Homo-oligomer: A and B are copies of this chain.
């Protein structure tokens, strides 16, 4: 596939500087791009690389107005790059049908144009939407619903009664609907609390490899529309994750916690149970969230504190040995003066 630069400009609502008739054959990173391809410079500090790349055209921000190379100038170069990459890389969907080595319950309701690979399992009374793809080893428990155009990669496990929206992507090894972790002690013995709730996953959610989402004790664990979750994340029972939030790898959310909309949790963040994180909050890597975090702010540290405050504290942290030394030395000087003063008093 080839696209003229001016066609790409229309696609991403940008303007061309230079030859708009030039034909672009693909997209690549600034280091790897070959002649014929387009690349992008998101951060102005990399603009000097414009001269080095072998790409034939570059997506840049609107401030850039001239260059030896054809430019595609846009408000958000990274977004334009993503959209052009989608244009070049997305292949049309061709259904492969249902392999005879898959096991589909006769009571399941199946949409049109499915792709179901060998060794996929679809339980009783499931509903599978149009154009769904189930890779080998996917197991879908009874009474579950998978919305249209969703893709479940190999060895995904869905427990019974789960609802999954449209255009959802579940990567290999994802588990949805496993029992919440709830016990009560009878003496030393752990008595299991039955987990009779469910999981509901909204449209356009993407969940990374080997991530786990537990079913609710009662009611539902809910992951709302557009949420993106990375690999090896734990989402416990009765958690609610608001629309378009982002959870990076190895994050852990404890039971009954509510995450707002458009939140970003960086890698390895842990959040305690029964708390709340407000909308648009950003939490730094490895932070430990131990209490409610108000909206629209950044937090870091374990226990988590506002980013600004943490920077101050942390700056002092590495100076602790020096501070202790000063403290000990000052105490000596103080003592010396106290003695001097006291001897003067005696002199009188």
Chain B residue nearest in CB terms to A26? B196
A78 contacts across to B, CB distance below 8 A? 184
State whether A218 touches B28 (Cβ < 8 A): yes
* Separation of A196 and B26 alpha carbons in the complex (Å): 11
Interface window among A16-24, A108-116, A244-252: A244-252
Chain B residue nearest in CB terms to A171? B178
Q: In this complex, which of A79, A137, A183 has the most chain B Cβ atoms within 10 angstroms of its Cβ?
A: A137
State whether B194 touches A85 (Cβ < 8 A): yes
Within 8 A of B (CB), among A308-337: 309, 312-321, 323-324, 326-327, 330-331, 333-334, 337
* Separation of A124 and B14 alpha carbons in the complex (Å): 40
Chain B residue nearest in CB terms to A172? B157
Chain B residue nearest in CB terms to A87? B194
State whether A219 touches B331 (Cβ < 8 A): no
* Separation of A183 and B23 alpha carbons in the complex (Å): 27
State whether B209 touches A178 (Cβ < 8 A): yes
Which residue of B32, B121, B244, B262 is within 8 Å of A117 (Cβ)?
A: B121
A334 contacts across to B, CB distance below 8 A? 330, 333-334, 337
State whether B323 touches A312 (Cβ < 8 A): no
State whether A157 touches B155 (Cβ < 8 A): yes
Q: In this complex, which of A210, A270, A312, A313 has the most chain B Cβ atoms within 10 angstroms of its Cβ?
A: A210
Q: Nearest Cβ distance between residue A107 and chain B, in whole angstroms?
A: 14
A226, CB-defined interface residue at 8 Å: yes
Chain B residue nearest in CB terms to A80? B184
State whether A249 touches B236 (Cβ < 8 A): yes
Q: Nearest Cβ distance between residue A84 and chain B, in whole angstroms?
A: 10
- Contact (A178, B208) CB under 8 Å given A103-B119, A183-B246, A218-B28: yes
- Contact (A82, B139) CB under 8 Å given A172-B157, A286-B288, A334-B334: no
Given contacts A121-B137, A341-B341, 5 further A-B contacts (CB under 8 A): A82-B191, A139-B172, A175-B210, A181-B230, A313-B320
